Structures are given as C-alpha cells and as structure tokens.
Amino acid sequence: MLVAEVRRKPASVSPNVPRQIAPQLPVFSSAELVDAVNRIATSAGIPFDEVSYHLEAAASAPYLRYRVTFSTAAKYPLIRRFIDQMAMNLPHTTLDEISCSRDDIPAAALNCDLSFSAFFQKDGHG
C-alpha cells in the first residue's frame, strides 16, 4: 500500500494587499444620522414612537458611540426589513437589543423596543 504525504504551504499574506485593522468610521454628524434612520424607517414602513438619541461620553474609547432607541408597532417582516436596511445602509451601526411582544396572539403587529449604536471617529466631531 502506497501512502502519500501531502504537505500544505502555510498561508501567507501578500505584501501587495493592504491590511485593514479597523473599519473606517465616519465623521460624527447627529443630523445626518437622524435623517438616515428616519429615511430607512420610512422606506421599511416602520412607525417610530418614543425615539431617543444619546451621545455616550467615554473618554477612554477610541471612538464616539451614539445610541438610538425607540419603540415601534409593526409586522415582523417590516421590522426585519428595517434591521436589514440599517445594517446595509449604515455599516457603522449595530443592533444592540430588540425586545418584542404582542398583546393579542392573533394580532399581526408586534410591539418592539429597539436599541442601536452608531460609531463615529472620535477626532472628527465638533
């Protein structure tokens, strides 16, 4: 019986391919973020209720974190579309928390509380 030994070359990084260590964050603009979130919500058919925006003060963090929280009552596919569009159109945001409930089992709409974080360059805000 003949057994062949296969040796693989270790993966190497090409010196011509730049490495991106951290994502490039946008310059902070609360007005642009508010407009973008409103535009995405309108496009997805999500009505807002009790929206709050809060810039967190974290002196040791290398970025700015702007929290967006709100409540909505909508059907599941619309909420899912909104979350997908946020990720696609605002890649510097993350969905931190989502909590949904339904008052009545046959009801189509969910009552959801959502919380997002948007990250921005620390040295780029005024």
How far apart are alpha carbons 72 and 42 in whole angstroms?
Answer: 12
pLDDT at 20: 53
pLDDT at 22: 55
Tell me if 50 sits within 8 A of 112, measured CB to CB.
no
For residue 77, the 8-state DSSP code is H
Backbone dihedral angles phi then psi of residue 53, each to the nearest 5 degrees:
-120, 135
Mean pLDDT, the chain cut into blocks of 10 residues (126 residues total): 47 52 79 94 91 85 91 94 96 95 82 95 66
pLDDT at 126: 46
pLDDT at 4: 45
pLDDT at 21: 54
The long-range contacts involving 22-25, CB below 8 angstroms and separated by at least 24 positions, are: 23/91, 23/92, 25/63, 25/92, 25/119, 25/120, 25/121
